[in-house]
Structure 1
């Protein structure tokens, strides 16, 4: 019975999720992916970022797997207001081996607003390609039934009705307004727009399957509560076509070491994705390294099949600090030499 429920649920999900963007529960751990305006927004020179997501392994022998990774640079060529970066995502969607790879270049600028020293406006843009492929041999079609039995060796006519449009261009842009005193005292909100050109990912010449524009509102903050305690609320809203996703929550951060030379902290938080799942996350900060992990507890209509098991994620951020050149002091030679 559980397998039947799972199959029906997957058909419903596949129909409603058609031509939609991927997402990560740990949106705070993928700044460039969450908003291109956050490219280069960190203290240091280079930032390396990677994340992996594994979903629906409880109801499918071939779970959905998503990987994201990138690098961005703060103040390239000593241009302090700028940030540049590259982010790559690969999504493998279950039994059909539908693989979507996206390569995006990012650029962002930071601007002061009048005389407000601690308030800055970040503007960013991204552009790149989407490549999509599918393994038809792993799919079954109705015309492979010959009237008596199903014949998996027969070639379906559905495979010859159109060519696959495997590579398209895609563009996006974003903004982020932030008031920052320091890393522990900051608050910001941004808006970004994805799939501006609405690329067509159809595998048939007879119809289009355009990716709808996605609107994203992002909120990130850190509020210092005590000498070693911070509260880090965050939220995001995604609206794409008729679909929407609202995530609300936050984490408490405890500083094991507040020394600027060797900061160490641990985070524990929870978020809710309205009507879908609760996400529990744990993270560690060790100087310039962040390591995090999270788990989605599913409570959507798929719960009878998933038994509350959803997805797990793991993320890593590493920042190479800015190396400042030492000033060489010239010693004045004594007159008697």
Structure 2
């Protein structure tokens, strides 16, 4: 019994200090990355990510998934320009032996774009996000020794032990701001672009109440990112990037680099855009990524050389590789290629 109580307390402590699984393809999960980020995409967008570490029979098991949709808001005067975007996202996490700890959230996002000047491509985008989070410790997938029959083996009609807790619900509010600038409104002939972003998750620091374990607080998570892209040849571009997180005394630092190229002519009917890169998460992991974009569809894949859940590997002794895939569909509603340069993933 002491073993099971230690599992419950360790998992619940994750809630108290703000630990949360995160995707490695940061830009492919933009609504979770920064609420203002959806304002950089002028297209109707459908996006999903799936990430997994280990097997359900392992204490180091981690499974993440998300699906999101965003719709741009535009205004037309003498020229069409984007005024913001709205979106929605669903996120789910399962962690621990047989997915003992589960969490999921539904988020609604709104972004508003402010043009700094009318003649240059410089914008500041403000994003606000709100939603509901549900977390629970559940043993519904467990098979207890008391449920095994000498005649038929496992019998789910027999009553087993229980370490489950009631589901906990709490609201969350997130805020973000993104600065964007680029040299040419036409994406296909653009040479330089820059994105800078700041955001805060759990701005309201919600209290999490559990009848079994009492009261805890979800700490704020502060995030900052920078991304720059520039041409190194007519078809090749180089994109250094950085990402930092801070929560309750814990800091995570990430540095990355992307290489991108058009396989065919950039203006061809079926232009193929390839991208490969890597991230180094300081004192934690190396992430290798590759992907391609064909017209409206983007697909990315990545591997982490160990787990990547905001320093949680140190607490649980994780060192297993993580695998992630992403799929994005962008429908250009205006057929004007004025979107901000950003990674596939």
TM-score past 0.5 threshold: yes
The CA distance in 2 between the partners of 1:174 and 1:56, in whole Å, is 33
Tell me the alpha carbon deviations over residues 254-278 of structure 1, each in whole angstroms, 9 at most, x when there is no partner. Answer: 2112333433121111111111110
Distance 1:273 1:202 in 2: 33
Alpha-carbon distance between aligned partners in 1 of 2:63 and 2:249, rounded to the nearest angstrom: 24
Which residue of structure 2 lines up, in the alignment, with residue 332 of structure 1?
none
Distance in 1 (alpha carbons) for counterparts of 2:56 and 2:93: 18
Q: Counterparts of 1:312-331 in structure 2 under 5 Å?
A: 312-323=323-334
**Secondary structure of the equivalent of 2:217?**
coil
How far apart, CA to CA, are the structure 2 residues paired with 1:69 and 1:13?
A: 25
Contact 1:58/1:310, CA 8 A, preserved across alignment: no
TM-score (norm 2): 0.76
Q: Distance between the aligned counterparts of 1:14 and 1:274, measured in 2?
A: 26
Shift of 1:165: 5.3
Using structure 1 for the length normalisation, give the TM-score: 0.78
1:39-73 C-alpha deviation (Å, 9 max, x unpaired): 242233x1111101102349817721000110001
Give yes or no for the alignment of 1:67 onto 2:58.
no
Matches within 5 A, 1:1-337: 18-44=17-43, 46-57=44-55, 60=58, 63-75=61-73, 80-95=82-97, 96-114=99-117, 117-136=120-139, 164=166, 166-182=168-184, 183=187, 184=190, 185-204=192-211, 207-260=214-267, 261-298=269-306, 309-323=320-334
Shift of 1:138: 6.4
Residue-by-residue CA offset, 1:15-56 (whole Å, 9 max, x unaligned): 567542331111021222211111242233x11111011023
Could you say which residue in structure 1 is the equivalent of 2:155? Answer: none
Between the aligned partners of 1:93 and 1:240, the Cα distance in structure 2 is 20
Aligned to 1:209, what secondary structure does the other structure show? Answer: strand
Please give the alpha-carbon distance, in whole angstroms, between the structure 2 residues aligned to 1:312 and 1:99. 19
SS of corresponding position for 1:257: coil
Q: Please give the per-residue CA displacement for 1:156-202, whole angstroms capped at 9, x wherever unaligned.
A: 7x77xxx7352111101100111112445211111001101112334
For the residues of structure 2 that align with 1:14 and 1:199, how far apart are their CA atoms? Answer: 14
Q: CA RMSD in A?
A: 3.4
Corresponding pairs, count? 300
Deviation of 1:247 (Å): 1.0
